Amino acid sequence: MQTKQQDTSQFTIQGDFIPGGSFKEKEAAFGALRLRFANLEAPDIIALSTRLINAQEKLKSESVFKIVDWIDQAALRWSKPEDPIRKEAEACIPLAGGISKEMLRFVLDDLSNNLRRPVLLKLLEEELGETSRLDQFCPKKKGTGLTKAFGPQLITQIVPANVGTLSITSLICGLLVKSANLIRTGPKDSLLPVLFARTLQEAWPEMAKAIGIVTWDKHEEHLTEAAFQNADCAIVYGSDETQSILAKKIPIRTKVIRYGHRFSLGIVARESIHKALADQAALDIALFDQRGCLSPQLYYVESGGTNRPLDFAKWLAQSLDAVSLRLPKGMMTPEEAVEIQQIRAALPLKGGKVFASPAGLDWTVLFDPDPAFSCSPLSRSIWIKSLEDLSEVPRLIAAHRQSLQALGFALPEARQAALIPILAEIGGSRICPIGQMQRPPMTWHHDGSYRLLPLLRFVDWEKA
CATH architecture of the domain 263-445 equals 3-Layer(aba) Sandwich (3.40)
Q: Coil, strand or helix: which one is 430?
A: strand
Q: What's the whole-number mean pLDDT along residues 250-271?
A: 95
CA distance 180 to 127: 20
Given a cut of 70, whether residue 6 has pLDDT beyond it is no
Given a cut of 60, whether residue 120 has pLDDT beyond it is yes
In one letter, which amino acid is 450? Y
* Residue 180 burial by Cβ neighbours in a 10 Å radius (0-12, 13-18, 19+): buried
CB proximity list for 341: less than 8 A, separation 6 or greater: 361
CA distance 215 to 386: 44
Given a cut of 60, whether residue 291 has pLDDT beyond it is yes
Looking at residue 23, what is its pLDDT? 85
Q: Indicate left, alpha or beta for 448 from its phi (over 0: left) and psi (-120 to 50: alpha).
A: left
Segment among 152-166, 291-305, 371-385, 390-404 with least mean pLDDT = 152-166
Q: Coil, strand or helix: which one is 38?
A: strand
Given a cut of 70, whether residue 169 has pLDDT beyond it is yes
For residues 299 and 266, the answer to whether their CB atoms sit within 8 Å is: yes
CA distance 67 to 51: 20
Count the Cβ atoms, other than its own, within 10 Å of residue 119: 18
Q: Which CATH superfamily is domain 4-261 in?
A: Aldehyde Dehydrogenase; Chain A, domain 1 (3.40.605.10)
* Residue 412 burial by Cβ neighbours in a 10 Å radius (0-12, 13-18, 19+): exposed
Q: How far apart are the first and last CA of the chain?
A: 57
What is the pLDDT confidence band of residue 163, given thresholds at 50, 70 and 90? low
CA distance 347 to 343: 6
pLDDT digits (tens, 9 = 90+) for 382-431: 999 999 999 999 999 999 999 999 999 999 999 999 999 999 998 899 99
pLDDT digits (tens, 9 = 90+) for 8-37: 355 789 999 998 877 889 998 888 889 999
pLDDT digits (tens, 9 = 90+) for 44-84: 999 999 999 999 999 999 999 999 999 999 999 999 999 99
**Percent composition of the chain: helix, strand, coil (DSSP 3-state, to 5):** 45, 20, 35
CA distance 455 to 460: 17
CA distances from 106 to 188, 303, 381, 399, 429 (A): 20, 34, 21, 35, 25
Given a cut of 70, whether residue 307 has pLDDT beyond it is yes
For residues 283 and 429, the answer to whether their CB atoms sit within 8 Å is: no
Percent of the chain scoring above 70 in pLDDT: 97
Q: What's the whole-number mean pLDDT along residues 174-190?
A: 94
Q: Coil, strand or helix: which one is 277?
A: helix
Q: What's the whole-number mean pLDDT along residues 367-390?
A: 96
Looking at residue 4, what is its pLDDT? 47
- pTM: predicted TM-score of the whole model, two decimal places: 0.93
Question: DSSP character for 141?
Answer: S
CA distances from 306 to 127, 274, 319, 367, 390 (A): 45, 10, 20, 18, 16
According to DSSP, the β-strands at 33-38 and 10-14 are parallel
Percent of the chain scoring above 90 in pLDDT: 85
For residues 371 and 239, the answer to whether their CB atoms sit within 8 Å is: no
CA distance 200 to 324: 33
How is the chain split into domains, by residue range? 4-261, 263-445
CA distances from 191 to 175, 186, 418 (A): 19, 10, 46
Given a cut of 60, whether residue 5 has pLDDT beyond it is no
For residues 324 and 289, the answer to whether their CB atoms sit within 8 Å is: no
Q: How far does Cα 336 stand from its chain's mean position?
A: 20
Looking at residue 277, what is its pLDDT? 98
Please provide residue 186's backbone torsions phi and psi, each rounded to the nearest 5 degrees: -70, 150
Q: What's the whole-number mean pLDDT along residues 188-213?
A: 94
Looking at residue 391, what is its pLDDT? 93
User: Per-residue b/e over 233-249, b at no fewer than 16 CB within 10 Å?
Assistant: bbbbbbeeebbebbeeb
Given a cut of 60, whether residue 3 has pLDDT beyond it is no
For residues 210 and 70, the answer to whether their CB atoms sit within 8 Å is: no
